[in-house]
Structure 1
């Protein structure tokens, strides 16, 4: 599925997570695979524990971090696509 700013996403509830120093560790309960997220990735994960559009996530990042909008969008879409492919994030459709 092609993601857009109006695409609503949320975390896959089959993953448990904890913060370890400056990163977040995610563990898949079904497959036992774990992933690490840096500080910004952890911020995004916390933001999408409840369903949000990608535009809402982008706006939260822009309010929290000193980053240009274009760079933020590019990196966010790259991460969302990767997390969707790996099953970490559920796509709920367009808002």
Structure 2
């Protein structure tokens, strides 16, 4: 089941069964399960690296704001769009933030 991202506090992590290689400044990925190649690009490749361990969407955005010259709103929109594409392809897993208390 494809789980959407509900908030910036949700955590994302790489899915299993993908091989990622560097192609110059960009990254490409092969999904073993699907037998499909994906070009993650430079920014997508950086996001993929950051998702080796579970990380909140907010932490991803903060890291990207340090790495790239982009405003916060644009960065959030682009990250959410990219992650949504990865979710649709079953390439990442999403864990919703569980409120404590």
Q: TM-score if structure 2 supplies the norm length? A: 0.88
**Structure 1 segments of 4 or more deviating over 6 A?**
none
Name structure 1 gaps, 5 residues minimum. none
Residue-by-residue CA offset, 1:16-36 (whole Å, 9 max, x unaligned):
111011211111112211101
| Among 64, 67, 81, the residue aligned to 2:67 | 64
**Which residues of structure 2 form unaligned runs of 5+?**
none
The root-mean-square deviation of aligned C-alpha atoms, in Å, is 1.1
For 1:32-87, what per-residue CA distance to the aligned partner results, in whole angstroms no more than 9, with x for missing partners? Answer: 11101111100000000111000000000001111000000010111111111111
TM-score by length of 1: 0.93
Q: How many residues align?
A: 95
Partner residue in 1 for 2:81: 78
Match of 1:31 in 2: 34
